[in-house]
Amino acid sequence: MTEETNNTQEVAQTSQPAVADAAANVPDEDFAELSMEEMEAMYEQTMQSFKEGEVVKGSIVEITDDYVVVDIGYKSEGAIPKEEFSRPEDLEPGQELDVFIEDPEDDDGLPILSKIKADKIKNWTHIQRIYEEDGIIKGR
C-alpha cells in the first residue's frame, strides 16, 4: 500500500447521517428481525449512485495538513490532495465545491475525487457555451 493510500484512509471516514435518517423510520422492535442483508440493502438505498466521470457538488468536512476531506453524499468521504487547490488557506469546513469523480470506489471503498478536473470541465463547458451563443471568446 502506498503512503498516499494510507493517508487517504486516515482522513476518509464513513458517512453516517443518511443511514441514521433511514433507520429513524424503522420501529425499534423491527431492527431485531432484520437480517444482515436487509440492513445492508437499507444502507445502500440511502446512498446516492455516482458514475466515473461525473462532476458533483460536495461539502468540505475536514481540512488536514495534506488533504481536503469532501462529503459527496456517498457511503464514504473522499480526500483530495491540498495541492489541487489554488488557495487552500481560503477553504473552510461546510464550504460547497464541485468535484470530479475519477472512480466511485477504490480498492478500499473510498471515492477518488479531483478538484482540478472538475474545474477544467467547468471552464471547458463555459467556453463551449459562449462559443455556441455568439462565437466570440474574449481572452485577456
Q: What is the pLDDT of residues 59-117, one digit of tens each?
A: 999 999 999 999 998 888 999 999 999 999 999 999 999 999 999 889 998 999 999 99
Which domains occur in the chain, in start order?
A: 3-134 (2.40.50.140)
Q: What's the angle, vertex CA 77, arms to CA 62 and CA 25, rounded to 5? A: 110
Residue 47 has a pLDDT of 56
Residue 24 has a pLDDT of 52
CA distance 134 to 74: 39
As given in the structure block, the three cell numbers for residue 76 are 464514504
Phi-psi region of 119 (alpha: psi -120 to 50; beta: other; left: phi over 0): alpha
The whole-angstrom distance between residue 123's C-alpha and the CA centroid of its chain comes to 20
Q: Among 12-21, 102-111, 121-130, where is mean pLDDT lowest?
A: 12-21
The model's confidence at residue 27, banded by pLDDT at 50, 70 and 90, is low
pTM value? 0.63
- Sheet of 67-71, strand order: 78-81, 67-71, 55-63, 96-103, 112-114
For residue 107, report the phi and psi dihedrals to the nearest 5 degrees: -60, -25
